[in-house]
Amino acid sequence: MSQQLFTQTTFAKIIFQKLHLDAPLFVAIFLLCMLSFLTLYSASGQDFSVLIRQAIRVGVAFVVMVTLAQCKPQQFYRYSVILYILGILLLVAVLLAGLVGKGAQRWLDLGLFRFQPSEMIKITTPLMIAWFLSDYTLPPKPMQIFWAVVLIALPTLLIAKQPDLGTALLIVISGGAMLFFANLSLRFMLVTSSVLLSLTPVLWHFMHDYQKARVLTFLHPEQDPIGRGYHIIQSKIAIGSGGIYGKGWLGGTQANLNFLPESATDFIFAVFAEEFGLLGCLVLLSLYLFVISRCLYIAVRADDTYSRLLAGSLAVTFFAYVSVNIGMVIGVLPVVGVPLPMMSYGGTSVVTLLASFGILMSIHTHRKFIPT
Amino acid sequence: MNKVYTVQNTLQENRKFLNRVLVVFLAVVLTIAGLVARLVYLQISGHEHYSTMAKTNRIKSLPLPPTRGIIYDAKGRVLAQNTPVYSLELIPEQIKDMDHTLRRLQNLLNISNEKIQQFLRQQKASKRFSSIPLLWQLTDEEAAKFAAVRPYYSGVDIQARLIRNYPYGDLTAHVVGYIGRINAKELATLSAVQYSGSHHIGKTGIEKFYETQLHGKTGYAEMQTNAQGRAVQIITSNQPTMGNDIYLTLDIDLQKTASVALAGHSGAIVAIKPKTGEVLALVSQPSFDPNPFVAGMSSKAYRALHTSQKQPLFNRALHGQYPPGSTVKPFLGLASLQYGVATFTDTINCQGSYKLPNSTHKYRDWKKNGHGKVSMKEAIIQSCDVYFYDLARNLGIDRIYQALHQFGFGEKTNIDLLGEKKGLLPSRAWKRQHKNQAWFPGETLISGIGQGFTQVTVLQLAKATATLANNGVPMTPHLLHKITNANSSMLNNNQQETPIQLQNKNLQNIVDSMVGVIHSQHGTARRLRNKSYKIAGKTGTAQVFGIKQEEEYDEDKTTQKLKDHAIFIAFAPASDPQIAVAVIVENGGHGGSTAAPMAGKIIKQFLHNTQKGV
């Protein structure tokens, strides 16, 4: 009996090794996908076609992930610059001729499918910064810091113009994380952060009205329960009414009865929390924690600077998305329109996400010294 | 390029990087802990609060209005019912392009621009997510047309409602009454629970008097609704109790005969069964169609009804007060016999007028040259005024008051309808109080022939006639026959009032006199004479305005508005009365020529049907 198990496990191990896949990460991602399917089925009002569509996207994303896992990190290095420039161009294209979806120009209609360039930027920017910084000894010197900031700022501003404050903010975070991992002095970072924070009033001035409204609503959602505060109030109701054990799969009433808008996309965590309760949330958060920890572990164990910086940045980006989305849904952050990685409905998001995991796996499985 | 493959100062870099990673990891753990803390706050300590909010979000208590009871006549013919009506309704929040949808609907169903404007106005006044009617009372064809294309119109739907309907229209309007929309004043007095979900309430007639019986009990349902307020599922429900059905004592065939007989005139007819007080017919002309009152009519239409010269909304049987004229004579004759003030056989000589001693004022008889020698019987048969002037003088106003009062004049009859008038029986006290004057002897005389201050309603006349027919035992007139529902049926009891003390001989003499009014050669209503049964009755002609002493009343020359009212009371068969009738025809001239034939038709139909066993 143990003989069989032994052969089975080694068999699986060989498959994973051959495909350059990192088993723990793979399994965690797979589990997250399963949870995602369960929740989407409920949030969409038991619409099977929604599930099918998402499953296809997830399938495509898995293919992308496995493909990228085959590549060597050197190849990423080679294409970093080109991909970055391509990303910038696409962003410009969006601004010039975007499709209006929900009051923001974020999409490019490519006939067969719609493509959201800002998603791509989530990968190309880290690639670029990592490429740039790894050429020099760490910590980077002021001149290098300057240029790194420019490289971060360029896509950020283009995305903010769309307007998509949420994603822009996260690009900044991923760039900042990169700099942090590049041994930038802590003092320096604190100083810059305070300077940036003090600039918030200026930023406020440049914000659109609705963005300002979002922040105000965040602080006092009850003041406008039918209009702007609606999302937050309904989200809290959904989550709170879930209690410890949740209402059970398909038992969520807030989403199914259309009380929670965006229930399949940005607010999917609320659906999950309503149906699976606090216990379910703990499971979900544990999975996320595991994924992030694994990514950080991969970063620590990476061979070279480029890979390290890249892996670290991708890990932090992933985590930033998770915490911002959940923070928004549970009412501790303003509504910023950011999807929940691995759970929200949407194609481009899953593809880029699994692409970045593919890169991470590639980094991990192409190391020079891999213990057997 | 080689730099990529190696790390400078490996150990130190590794350690530094590791440190940084650990810092990040710590931040991650702290953040997650923070999220968990927040979740605990929401899902454990806030759980009850949010659960309640979730429930109020989606559970709505809806009242289930009861179905109103049906009103039938004595023989089970429907007088008031609930018919299904279809209306086309829109929920604006569910319609993407309102203008476009309205245009399409206009083309499809030929809707006038006026109706569209009305709809848009109502939309402004309505709550969010409420269903607003665009078209009331769709025809079957319109409903079918829309039903065929319904999938293409989101937010538009057909609603079925029950609407109150009166099949006999103006024939029963003054008895059955009608229901209308509850107004603010009524709302203040109603139980909020009982009338939530109901929009209508009885406004007049039986619909109002028996409102509690007919309304039933409102139920409620707890519904699960979605964010649009649309009901998705019923959770619990408490079914409403339907209103009770009511059977009236009315006979719609008799009602029709009376109505047709009175058509073209203004006036009222009331027919009662003397032994029980059951009202067989109650007609007021001109009448009106009550159906438009249910849904609400245009203010123009209502004004037209309200201000019409003929006053169709005015219930003449209940509210109309008229001088009784000569119809009081049998009652006063009976009284004088009871009081011993006169005998049945004593005669006087009627020359056409009467004078009080020490007065020059001539009190005229309607017959210019008088009736000659008349006994009480002849005086009743021919309606001699002079006889009764004398009789009145001998009785005195106090006893006249007593006599008429005991037959129910000057008081409400207590019929089961609201708003009947008491009429007026003058007396010394009354005159002192209202006119601050003493009673004049001349006023006694004219009271003796039912003129002057005396005022009666047709209902009082009918009841008094019925009392006479029932040997002086008054029965309370009522319209309710029985109340039924799914489980039980309850008969209404006939209410007997205090019998009037009468000597049988006196009563018989008076009845004989009244039979003579029809069946004797000189009777003022001899047109009704027939071979099958004996009718006992009395004609009356009520003066509308006074004539100067020297002038004569010339009917042909007098304009319609100033003509006398024609009155007639009767019961039949005289030996064992089954029906008593009172008729007033405003400005109808002579009682015998105008009012009597109407009563005759009713009596004939009733006795004919009774004979046939119908």
Q: Do A323 and B43 touch (CB under 8 A)?
A: no
B17 contact residues in A (CB cutoff 8 A): 181, 183, 299-300, 308, 312
B62-84 pLDDT tens trace: 777 889 999 999 999 999 999 98
Looking at residue B29, its amino acid is: V
Tell which wins on pLDDT, A204 or B407: B407
**Chains A–B, number of C-beta pairs less than 8 Å apart:** 140
Asked if B527 has any chain A CB less than 8 Å from its own CB, the reply is no
Q: How far is residue B297's CA from residue B437's CA, in Å, rounded to a whole number?
A: 48
Asked if B231 has any chain A CB less than 8 Å from its own CB, the reply is no
Question: Does residue B127 carry a pLDDT above 70?
Answer: no
Q: How far is residue B237's CA from residue B243's CA, in Å, rounded to a whole number?
A: 18
Q: Do A243 and B47 touch (CB under 8 A)?
A: yes
- Helix B441-448 and helix B385-406, axial crossing angle in degrees, nearest 10: 90
Q: How far is residue A69's CA from residue A363's CA, in Å, rounded to a whole number?
A: 8
Q: Residues B285, B268: contact at Cβ < 8 Å?
A: yes
Q: Do B50 and A241 touch (CB under 8 A)?
A: yes
What is the CB neighbour count within 10 angstroms for residue A49? 8
- CA-based nearest residue in chain B for residue A130: B4
B364-423 pLDDT tens trace: 898 888 999 999 999 999 999 999 999 999 999 999 999 999 999 999 999 999 999 999
Kindly calculate the radius of gyration of chain B based on its CA atoms and give it in whole angstroms.
38
For chain A positions 156-195, those within 8 Å of chain B (CB to CB) are: 177, 180-181, 183
Q: Please give the helix or strand (H or E) that residue B257 lies within, else none.
A: helix B252-262
Give the Å distances, CA to CA, from B189 to B182, B183, B184, B193, B215: 11, 10, 9, 12, 16
Q: How far is residue B537's CA from residue B599's CA, in Å, rounded to a whole number?
A: 10
pLDDT at B2: 41
Name the DSSP class of B594.
Answer: I
Active site amino acids of B: 326
Question: Does residue B227 carry a pLDDT above 50?
Answer: yes
Q: Residues B565, B322: contact at Cβ < 8 Å?
A: yes
B164-209 pLDDT tens trace: 999 999 999 999 999 987 777 777 787 777 777 677 889 999 999 9
A304-319 pLDDT tens trace: 888 888 999 999 999 9
Rounded (to 5) percent helix, strand, coil in chain B: 45, 20, 35
Non-local (6+) Cβ contacts of B485 within 8 A are B69, B242, B244, B245
Looking at residue A296, its amino acid is: L
The rounded percent of chain B whose pLDDT value lies above 90 is: 54
Closest Cβ–Cβ partner in B20, B24, B42 for A236: B42
B506-523 pLDDT tens trace: 999 999 999 999 999 989
Segment A23-47 shows an average pLDDT of 87
pLDDT band at B450 (very low <50, low <70, confident <90, very high): very high
B38 contact residues in A (CB cutoff 8 A): 330-332
CA B367 from centroid of its chain's CA atoms: 42
Asked if A224 has any chain B CB less than 8 Å from its own CB, the reply is no
B25 contact residues in A (CB cutoff 8 A): 293, 296
Of A271, A281, A272, A270, nearest to A244 (Cα)? A281
Tell me the pLDDT of chain A averaged across its residues: 81
Asked if A273 has any chain B CB less than 8 Å from its own CB, the reply is yes
Q: Do B224 and A242 touch (CB under 8 A)?
A: no
A308 contact residues in B (CB cutoff 8 A): 17
Question: Does residue B467 carry a pLDDT above 80?
Answer: yes
Of B127, B142, B63, nearest to B91 (Cα)? B127
Q: Residues B577, B603: contact at Cβ < 8 Å?
A: no
Asked if A327 has any chain B CB less than 8 Å from its own CB, the reply is yes
Burial class, B188, CB count within 10 angstroms (exposed 0-12 / middle 13-18 / buried 19+): exposed
Q: Which two tokens stand for residue B88?
A: 């086309």
Q: How far is residue B481's CA from residue B503's CA, in Å, rounded to a whole number?
A: 32
Q: What does B49-104 look like in DSSP terms, one character per residue?
A: HHHHHHHHHHEEEEEEPPPPPPEE-TTS-EEEEEEEEEEEEE-GGG-S-HHHHHHH
pLDDT at A137: 72
Give the residue ranges of DSSP H helices in chain A: 2-18, 23-43, 48-70, 73-97, 117-134, 142-160, 165-181, 186-198, 200-206, 209-219, 230-242, 253-256, 268-300, 305-329, 347-365
The rounded percent of chain A whose pLDDT value lies above 70 is: 79
Asked if B440 has any chain A CB less than 8 Å from its own CB, the reply is no
Q: Do B54 and A281 touch (CB under 8 A)?
A: no
Is the alpha carbon torsion for B381, B382, B385, B387 positive or negative?
Answer: negative
Asked if B575 has any chain A CB less than 8 Å from its own CB, the reply is no
Q: Do A278 and B40 touch (CB under 8 A)?
A: yes
Name the DSSP class of A221.
Answer: G
pLDDT at A224: 55
pLDDT at B232: 67
Q: Do A278 and B6 touch (CB under 8 A)?
A: no
Closest Cβ–Cβ partner in A278, A292, A300 for B17: A300
Question: Does residue B239 carry a pLDDT above 70?
Answer: yes
The rounded percent of chain A whose pLDDT value lies above 90 is: 19
B71 DSSP β-pair partners: B80, B246
Segment B459-469 shows an average pLDDT of 96
For chain A positions 278-307, those within 8 Å of chain B (CB to CB) are: 278, 281-282, 285, 288-289, 292-293, 296, 299-300, 303-306
Dihedral, A10, A15, A16, A21 alpha carbons, nearest 10? 170
Q: Do B20 and A180 touch (CB under 8 A)?
A: yes
Q: How far is residue B496's CA from residue B277's CA, in Å, rounded to a whole number?
A: 8
Asked if A277 has any chain B CB less than 8 Å from its own CB, the reply is yes
Closest Cβ–Cβ partner in A237, A289, A312 for B54: A237
Q: Residues B172, B79: contact at Cβ < 8 Å?
A: yes
Closest Cβ–Cβ partner in B4, B28, B39 for A77: B4
Q: Residues B380, B538: contact at Cβ < 8 Å?
A: yes
Distance, in angstroms, between B226 CA and closest chain A CA?
4
Q: How far is residue B186's CA from residue B397's CA, in Å, rounded to a whole number?
A: 44
Asked if B373 has any chain A CB less than 8 Å from its own CB, the reply is no
Q: Do B36 and A257 touch (CB under 8 A)?
A: no
Q: Residues B526, B518: contact at Cβ < 8 Å?
A: yes
Q: How far is residue B481's CA from residue B495's CA, in Å, rounded to a whole number?
A: 12
Of B208, B285, B205, nearest to B250 (Cα)? B205
Q: Residues A361, A20: contact at Cβ < 8 Å?
A: yes
B492-503 pLDDT tens trace: 889 999 999 999
Closest Cβ–Cβ partner in A244, A258, A326 for B35: A326
A238 contact residues in B (CB cutoff 8 A): 50, 54
Q: Do B227 and A259 touch (CB under 8 A)?
A: yes
Closest Cβ–Cβ partner in A253, A258, A300 for B54: A253
Q: How far is residue B109's CA from residue B205's CA, in Å, rounded to a whole number?
A: 38
pLDDT at B556: 59
CA geometry: angle A42, A47, A51, nearest 5 deg? 80
Which pTM does this prediction carry? 0.62
Non-local (6+) Cβ contacts of B213 within 8 A are B69, B243, B244, B246, B483
Of these ranges, A89-103, A264-278, A313-327, the one predicted with the greatest mean pLDDT is A313-327
Tell me the pLDDT of chain B averaged across its residues: 87
B211-226 pLDDT tens trace: 999 998 888 877 777 6
Q: How far is residue A336's CA from residue A211's CA, in Å, rounded to a whole number?
A: 8
Question: Does residue B550 carry a pLDDT above 50?
Answer: no
Is the alpha carbon torsion for A195, A201, A202, A208 positive or negative?
Answer: positive
Asked if A351 has any chain B CB less than 8 Å from its own CB, the reply is no
Closest Cβ–Cβ partner in A74, A254, A327 for B35: A327
Q: How far is residue B328's CA from residue B424's CA, in Å, rounded to a whole number?
A: 13
Question: Does residue B554 carry a pLDDT above 70?
Answer: no
